């Protein structure tokens, strides 16, 4: 998968395990247990003693050395609101101004949107305080009927309208398209959606779906099966039923690798989709999003997990 770092977690496993083993429990005995398995140790006094040369480093002094140009946000339900705090930190150190592309799945697509549109700290705070319950437009008494009739309980109309207000605030049109955003800001947004008709993920982007309204793509991407109704939509001449991108691709970390979403002229569909006999190979995901070691470190991915999560 692309967008990773040149180092691996395994390079640090020995150091991490050694550090855990040396942490004392409340009796001052090293038992090798993780801090999550015992009461927290009061480290206030030792913190001052363990200060080293890194404590005085200001990351902002080295911001030009970071290669990141792309941000990718995993889907994660309500906990994905934590991404907004991460965006505020990127602003604080001056990294967000270097970002050219943002992508996300499900609730991660909302973070990708506000990141690429350049919402400031105050606006991010306002968005984070939004009551998600206000988007539940349909009462409980309609659950069974709506699930059988529309394949989902909530129609999420108020959410669709809310995303429209966010888009309109920055682009002047609540139905602004992916192309509109790219032409006005020079930045790219990618929203990952699941096409239930063909059981495949699709990448909504100024290259692949230039004329699709951004808020429509995000409405599709957050359509959790059973809870939120999927959306029937015609995309590039093909009509399909679209739902939560996390069904197939929850963490599109490699979406900006390869040629598929590249806006370079040499990577246009006209240049890439030939010879026709090689189309199956050309359109294989491993080729569309092929890792390039020269650019793979430009993507910074975000996940929100708990300490006990198996994703760690």
Give the residue numbers annotated as catalytic, written as ranges. 106, 244
Is the pLDDT confidence value at 167 over 80? yes
In-domain check, residue 191: yes
What gap in Å lies between CA 100 and CA 71, rounded to an integer? 8
Backbone angles phi, psi at 63, to 5 degrees: -60, -30
What are 257-294's pLDDT values in tens digits? 999 999 999 999 999 988 888 888 999 989 999 988 88
What are 53-64's pLDDT values in tens digits? 556 677 777 777
Q: How far apart are the first and last CA of the chain?
A: 17
In-domain check, residue 150: yes
What gap in Å lies between CA 47 and CA 162, rounded to an integer? 45
In-domain check, residue 277: yes
What per-residue confidence (pLDDT) applies to 16? 41
- Could you give the number of structural domains in the chain? 1
In-domain check, residue 236: yes
Task: Take residue 40 and report the two structure tokens written for it.
Answer: 């927290």
What gap in Å lies between CA 25 and CA 38, rounded to an integer? 7
In-domain check, residue 90: yes
Q: What is the CATH number of the domain that holds 244?
A: 3.40.1090.10
What per-residue confidence (pLDDT) applies to 269? 93
pLDDT band at 7 (very low <50, low <70, confident <90, very high): very low
Decide: 23 and 15 in contact? Cβ < 8 Å. no
Decide: 190 and 112 in contact? Cβ < 8 Å. yes
State the residue range of the domain holding 237. 59-302
Decide: 190 and 201 in contact? Cβ < 8 Å. no
Pairing outcome for strands 101-105 and 152-154: unpaired
Task: Take residue 112 and report the two structure tokens written for it.
Answer: 């990708």
Task: Take residue 121 and report the two structure tokens written for it.
Answer: 């700290």
Cis before 275 (ω within 30): yes
The whole-number average pLDDT for the span 171-194 is 98
Backbone angles phi, psi at 170, to 5 degrees: -105, -30
In-domain check, residue 54: no
Greater confidence (78 vs 85) lies with 85
In-domain check, residue 167: yes
Decide: 179 and 211 in contact? Cβ < 8 Å. yes
Pairing outcome for strands 152-154 and 226-228: parallel
What per-residue confidence (pLDDT) applies to 294? 80
pTM for the model stands at 0.80
In-domain check, residue 247: yes
Backbone angles phi, psi at 256, to 5 degrees: -95, 5
Per the DSSP assignment, residues forming a β-bridge with 240 are 233
pLDDT mean across residues, the chain? 84
């Amino acid at each position: 998968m692309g967008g990773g770092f040149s180092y691996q977690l395994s390079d640090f496993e020995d150091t991490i395990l050694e550090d855990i083993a040396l942490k004392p429990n409340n009796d001052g005995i090293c038992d090798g247990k993780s801090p999550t398995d015992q009461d927290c140790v009061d480290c206030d006094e030792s913190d001052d003693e363990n200060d080293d040369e890194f404590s005085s480093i200001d990351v902002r002094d080295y911001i030009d050395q970071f290669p990141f140009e792309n941000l990718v946000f995993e889907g994660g339900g309500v906990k994905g609101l934590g991404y907004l705090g991460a965006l505020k930190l990127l602003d604080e150190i001056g990294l967000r101004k270097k970002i050219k592309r943002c992508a996300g799945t499900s609730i991660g697509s909302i973070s990708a949107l506000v990141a690429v549109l350049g919402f400031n700290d105050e606006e991010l705070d306002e968005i984070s305080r939004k009551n998600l319950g206000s988007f539940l437009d349909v009462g409980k008494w309609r659950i069974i009927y709506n699930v059988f009739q529309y394949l989902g309980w909530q129609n999420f109309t108020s959410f669709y309208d809310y995303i429209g207000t966010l888009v309109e605030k920055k682009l002047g049109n609540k139905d602004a398209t992916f192309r509109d955003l790219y032409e006005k800001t020079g930045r790219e947004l990618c929203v990952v959606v699941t096409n239930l008709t063909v059981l495949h993920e699709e990448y909504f982007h100024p290259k692949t779906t230039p004329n699709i309204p951004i808020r429509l793509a995000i409405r599709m991407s957050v359509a959790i099966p059973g809870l939120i109704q999927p959306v029937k939509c015609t995309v590039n001449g093909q009509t399909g039923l679209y739902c939560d991108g996390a069904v197939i691709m929850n963490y599109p970390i490699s979406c900006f690798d390869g040629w598929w979403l590249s806006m370079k002229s040499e990577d246009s569909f006209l240049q890439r989709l030939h010879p026709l006999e090689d189309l199956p190979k050309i359109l294989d995901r491993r080729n569309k999003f092929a890792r390039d070691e020269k650019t793979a470190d430009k993507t910074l991915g975000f996940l929100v997990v708990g300490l006990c999560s198996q994703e760690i």
